[in-house]
Amino acid sequence: MTSHSSQVDGIVKSPSKVGHVVFKTSNFRGMVDFYIKFLGCVVAFENEQLSILRFDDDDDHHRVAILYLPDLKPTDPQAVGLEHVAFSYSTLPDLLAAYQKHKNNGISPFWCVNHGPTTSMYYKDPDGNGVELLVDNFDTIREANEFMASRLFAENPIGTEFDPQDLVQRMELGESESSLKKRVEIGPRKALGC
């Protein structure tokens, strides 16, 4: 990651990474159980009001926390706020294995799209929060940035929908990961189609 000088140009130094996400809920057990199953989390700490979850012991002490506030009301989906939280897989086979596991557990994505830089599947947690599972489509950040600066991305910054079951079948037939991650171009697209 490139470090930005805050001493010369007055811009704050960028963080090194996103640390964690905290959800507040009145559905404590449902949310905790969902994230344990959905992300393969283990409980780092839990009491009657807080659950702290992790899934990458070598990289961080926690990634998700669930805070129980019993008097909360459901949020209005039309209100401004956070759209979704995204979690990355290292390989497309890992992402597709997660998809199959979730599908077998009755959890299906509501939108699957190849944005170009990523192959992404969008889900809802029990409180209706958006959760994206993704894999990077390029081997380097430079390649992804070049694609995002391209005419193809300018014409269609949203991406192209895909059927995850089709990707699973093509992978099982031996198609390469790079071929499966290549976005199918559909021409200009300006509006979100989810």
How many structural domains compose the chain?
A: 2
Residue 38 sits in the same domain as residue 129: no
Reference 112, options 168, 151, 178; nearest CA is 168
Distances (CA, A) of 86 to 6, 39, 130, 135, 136: 28, 11, 8, 10, 12
Residue 104 sits in the same domain as residue 152: yes
pLDDT at 126: 96
Residue 42 sits in the same domain as residue 101: no
Reference 42, options 31, 58, 54; nearest CA is 54
Full domain range(s) for residue 27: 19-72
Residue 180 sits in the same domain as residue 96: yes
Residue 121 sits in the same domain as residue 160: yes
pLDDT at 15: 82
Residue 157 sits in the same domain as residue 126: yes
Q: Is residue 136 part of a domain?
A: yes
Residue 156 · residue 185 · CB < 8 Å = yes
Residue 129 sits in the same domain as residue 57: no
Q: How many CB atoms lie within 10 A of CB 12?
A: 7
The amino acid at 107? I
Q: Mean pLDDT of successive 10-residue segments in the chain (194 residues)? A: 55 84 97 97 96 83 92 88 94 98 97 98 97 97 97 96 98 97 92 58
CATH of the domain at 48: 3.10.180.10
Half-sphere exposure of 48 (CA within 13 A, CB side): 1
